[in-house]
């Protein structure tokens, strides 16, 4: 591979020869105006008009009945798993090829991740691998999925839509329904992505999104839980607000709760960011249309949206030939001012998850040695 030509092409695409980050936020709308309005109101914490407005606007955008805003995506996933009745010592099936937050949120409850392979085409949880694992290791008893290898209850399944590319979520849902497993979508990276004309995060009982500083829209942090279930939405709001019973002056809390509500300041930013989301998505698709023919001509695999999907192309992704080429590519580009990165280290290779049960992870291992992300920010 001609690393120099690739580096220069990426710099030319972004019209810069200075340091080029992997992704950076864009604030081109009403962010400052809404922040000033929020400050003038003095409601800057977790109560305020912008929190309510953002939850309403976000639910409408993705097509869910309810949205509950949280301080970050990890908190959103943690609460979603609690709402799915995941308890200490339960098991949760997820993919090993994911950001650490997925496995951390499971662990916060004292539950145990079980790692099942991904599809090469989507880099998300494979329904084929999931079916093989369930048929080999599980049985249904009293409307519960029991892992016959560990003896534990498999309470939930958490697929992740990797880099914004939807996994085969309808097939995963069908398996979860068949095996009495709650489906909780980690949609942290997939705002603006749809599968069969339905927004990611809305197939399961609950979905979780992130607004970290490197996401398509951001408030520096932030997350949100989406659901169509009114009772789940009310409970999400309750336990993410320290489980305080509403009262004008008394402080009474009826269960263990979490201080996870999104501050009004952050919500003000997100309201403004959401107004420009469609423009950001259009630019990312345009960037993909520039990248794809260049890398195809260089015999490099550029990851395109999967079948039946419309991807947000959050992070533009290449699949190289092997580990040696991956390391050489990362070294050259980063040494020459173009930030690139590999995919995550597999969760089951991390010290705290080495003892977790795994299925055959051949695809995840293959991708770990080959995937790189290249600059993916919105160009104005």
CA distance 301 to 292: 8
Kindly give, in sequence order, each residue whose CB lies less than 8 Å from that of residue 134, ignoring residues fewer than 6 positions away: 145, 175, 179
**Token output for 177:** 């329904």
Q: Are 194 and 309 in contact (CB under 8 A)?
A: yes
Examine domains 3-20+277-347+357-374 and 31-276 and report if their fold is the same: no
Q: Are 188 and 41 in contact (CB under 8 A)?
A: no
- Domain spans, the chain: 3-20+277-347+357-374, 31-276
Query: Token pair 């908190």 is at which residue?
Result: 75
Q: Are 348 and 96 in contact (CB under 8 A)?
A: yes
Strand partners, 160: 186
The dihedrals phi and psi of 354, each to the nearest 5 degrees, come to -65, -25
Which pTM was predicted?
0.96
CA distance 349 to 358: 11
Residue 45, Cβ neighbours under 10 Å: how many? Answer: 12
**Token output for 234:** 């009310």
Q: How far is CA 365 from the centre of its chain?
A: 20
Q: Are 261 and 68 in contact (CB under 8 A)?
A: no
Closest CA to 91 of 79, 103, 99: 103
Looking at residue 68, its pLDDT comes to 98
Looking at residue 1, its pLDDT comes to 84
CA angle 164, 117, 106 (to 5 degrees): 75
Three-class DSSP category at 138: strand
Looking at residue 311, its pLDDT comes to 98
366 burial level (CB within 10 Å; 0-12, 13-18, 19+)? middle
Taking the domain 31-276, which CATH number applies?
3.40.640.10
Looking at residue 46, its pLDDT comes to 87
Kindly give, in sequence order, each residue whose CB lies less than 8 Å from that of residue 162, ignoring residues fewer than 6 positions away: 97, 98, 118, 122, 123, 124, 189
Q: Are 274 and 69 in contact (CB under 8 A)?
A: no
**Token output for 254:** 């009826």
Looking at residue 53, its pLDDT comes to 98
Q: Per-10-residue mean pLDDT for the chain, 380 residues long?
A: 94 93 96 97 93 98 98 98 98 98 98 98 98 98 97 98 98 98 98 98 98 96 98 98 94 96 97 98 97 94 97 98 97 98 98 98 98 94
- CATH class given for the domain over 3-20+277-347+357-374: alpha beta
Kindly give, in sequence order, each residue whose CB lies less than 8 Å from that of residue 178, ignoring residues fewer than 6 positions away: none
CA angle 59, 289, 312 (to 5 degrees): 15
Looking at residue 261, its pLDDT comes to 97
Q: Are 121 and 133 in contact (CB under 8 A)?
A: no
Residue 164 gets which letter from DSSP? G
- H-run or E-run covering 92: strand 91-94
Closest CA to 277 of 326, 365, 328, 209: 209
Distances (CA, A) of 321 to 36, 175, 334, 338, 364: 50, 33, 19, 20, 15
């Amino acid at each position: 591979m001609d690393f120099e030509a690739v580096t220069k092409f990426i710099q030319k695409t972004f019209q810069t020869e200075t340091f080029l980050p992997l992704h950076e936020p864009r604030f081109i709308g009403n962010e400052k105006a809404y922040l000033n309005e929020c400050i003038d109101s003095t409601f800057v914490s977790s109560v305020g008009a912008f929190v309510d407005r953002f939850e309403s606007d976000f639910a409408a955008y993705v097509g869910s009945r309810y949205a509950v805003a949280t301080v970050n995506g990890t908190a959103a996933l943690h609460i979603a798993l609690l709402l799915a009745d995941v308890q200490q010592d339960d098991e949760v099936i997820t993919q090993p090829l994911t950001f650490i937050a997925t496995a951390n949120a499971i662990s916060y409850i004292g539950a145990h991740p079980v790692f099942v392979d991904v599809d090469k085409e989507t880099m998300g949880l494979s329904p084929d691998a999931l079916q093989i694992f369930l048929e080999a290791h599980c049985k249904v008893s009293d409307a519960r999925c029991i892992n016959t290898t560990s003896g534990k209850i498999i309470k939930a399944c958490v697929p992740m839509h990797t880099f914004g590319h939807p996994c085969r979520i309808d097939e995963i849902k069908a398996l979860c329904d068949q095996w009495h497993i709650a489906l909780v979508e980690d949609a942290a990276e997939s705002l603006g992505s749809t599968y069969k004309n339905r927004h990611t995060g809305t197939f399961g009982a609950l979905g979780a999104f992130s607004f970290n500083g490197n996401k398509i829209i951001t408030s520096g942090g932030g997350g949100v839980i989406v659901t169509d279930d009114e009772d789940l939405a009310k409970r999400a709001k309750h336990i993410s607000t320290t489980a305080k019973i509403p009262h004008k002056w008394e402080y009474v809390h009826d269960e263990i709760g979490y201080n996870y509500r999104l501050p009004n300041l952050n919500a003000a930013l997100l309201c403004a960011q959401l107004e420009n989301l469609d423009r950001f998505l259009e630019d990312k698709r345009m960037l993909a249309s520039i990248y794809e023919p260049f890398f195809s001509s260089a015999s490099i695999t550029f990851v395109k949206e999967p079948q039946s999907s419309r991807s947000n192309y959050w992070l533009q992704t290449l699949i190289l030939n092997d580990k040696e080429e991956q390391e050489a590519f990362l070294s050259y580009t980063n040494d020459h001012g173009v930030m690139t990165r590999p995919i995550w280290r597999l969760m089951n290779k991390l010290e705290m998850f080495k003892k977790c049960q795994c299925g055959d992870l051949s695809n995840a291992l293959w991708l770990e040695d080959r995937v790189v992300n290249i600059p993916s920010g919105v160009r104005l």
